[in-house]
Amino acid sequence: MFGKEFVVDSDFTDLESKIIGNTELSEESIKQMVSEMGAKDFRGKDYNLIQRNCNHFSDAFCKKLCGKGIPKNINNLVKTLAQYPWLEKQIPKEFVTPKALQNKVKDEEKKAKQKENKQNSSDSNSDTTNE
């Protein structure tokens, strides 16, 4: 894109590159699009190897960018796994959702529960005060 190659990890080697299409969008518009997608549809806490992975992002991004998604065969394995929930349960949880993300989600759930308990406690105190 724009004569640049975007690399996340220098140890990663592409198995294959595919040309999906072209776009008339500016580099600034594309950066804005990626930011919006990250803020709305592809937040890190929602990552899941089967249901919401980098290929899902790439497909949505390519559709917005040039009107055509990534080749269907790229995400075939996870589509197959998604059809058989019992099979997905056989995959270690840390493979499906990275450990760091699991910990963040657990922390958020714990905070939400504490907030709920505090709210319930405050509600019950006001109930007894009104009696």
Query: Quick check: 69 pLDDT over 90?
Result: yes
**Residue, of 70 and 98, whose pLDDT is higher:** 70
Look at residue 122 in the predicted model and tell me its pLDDT.
Answer: 77
Q: CB of 104 within 8 A of CB of 98? A: no
Sort residue 55 into left (φ over 0), alpha (ψ -120 to 50) or beta: alpha
Contacts 24+ apart (CB under 8 A), 102-106: 104/45, 105/45
Judge whether residue 9 has pLDDT over 60.
no
Query: What is the rounded CA–CA span in Å between residue 58 and residue 11?
Result: 20
- Does residue 100 register a pLDDT over 70? no
Our measurement of the distance from residue 68's CA atom to the centroid of its chain's CA atoms, rounded to an integer in Å, reads 20
- Confidence band, pLDDT 50/70/90 cuts, at residue 36: very high
pLDDT at position 13 over 80: no
Q: Are 102 and 94 in contact (CB under 8 A)?
A: yes
- Over 60: is that where the pLDDT of 129 sits? no
In whole angstroms, give the CA distance from residue 97 to residue 83: 18
67, pLDDT greater than 90: yes
Q: What is the mean pLDDT of residues 102-131?
A: 76
Rounded to two decimals, what is the model's pTM? 0.62
Q: Which residues pair with 48 in a beta bridge?
A: 52
